[in-house]
Amino acid sequence: MVGRLSWVVGSVVAVILVVVAFLGAFVLRAPGPLQGPTTNIHLETVAAVNQAVEWARPNDPHPDWVSYLPTTILRVPANATIKVTIDQEDGATGLRNPFWGQVQGTDGNKMHVKYTDDNGNQQEADMTSIDPTRAAHTFAVPDLGVFVPLLGVSDNAAPGATNVITFTFHTKGKGIYHWQCFVPCAAGTVFGNGGPMQTLGYMAGQLIVE
């Protein structure tokens, strides 16, 4: 009886250790916060961490994961206007809900985009929406009503092309606000919504308003 009880206790302890290790390695581990608080945020989106142009993470445990860089832990002031610049370097995946192709919660409900069109020409325009099938990622802070679809790099663009997207939005009171990508861009996971989509430091983050 004692031996059986010891085996059960040992099994339970082993399971707890595995869960803790998983949480530490995949859920709780994330790049440190963006220095700040700052009213200017500069991010890069890549199809895989090891393809980073501006912010390499050589010791990243998931070098092939899609990601925002350099971090998704962002520190900003309360009741402030925040300017966001995103160097979008990934191709289109597409949104499952066309409604999210609209820009929402930014100043003027618009964004400014510098991009390469399907003819390989450089373009620049203010946009209030995009074709939802052309979205690569999104920058969304649901509790602030902010939703910005990021135009995917055209297949006809030169290698290494980047779409530069800028917009401004306003923070509210102090707190921690969840933000994330709503494009199911995690290839190889269940319905594209696992792995990096659920992990801080990749396609999910925290907006720390101080």
DSSP notation for 147-179: EEEEEPBPTTSPTT--EEEEEEEE--SSEEEEE
The pTM for the full model equals 0.85
Q: Six-digit token pair at 134?
A: 């052309």
Predicted local distance difference test score (pLDDT) of residue 91: 96
**Domains with residue ranges and CATH for the chain:** 31-209 (2.60.40.420)
Dihedrals phi, psi of 178, to nearest 5 degrees: -75, 140
Q: What is the CA angle 192-26-63, rounded to 5?
A: 70
How many residues are given for the chain? Answer: 210
| pLDDT tens, position by position, 25-43 | 444 467 888 888 999 999 9
| pLDDT tens, position by position, 111-126 | 999 999 999 999 999 9
CA atoms within 13 A on the CB side of 82: 26
Run of H or E residues at 45 = strand 40-46
Predicted local distance difference test score (pLDDT) of residue 188: 82
Predicted local distance difference test score (pLDDT) of residue 35: 80
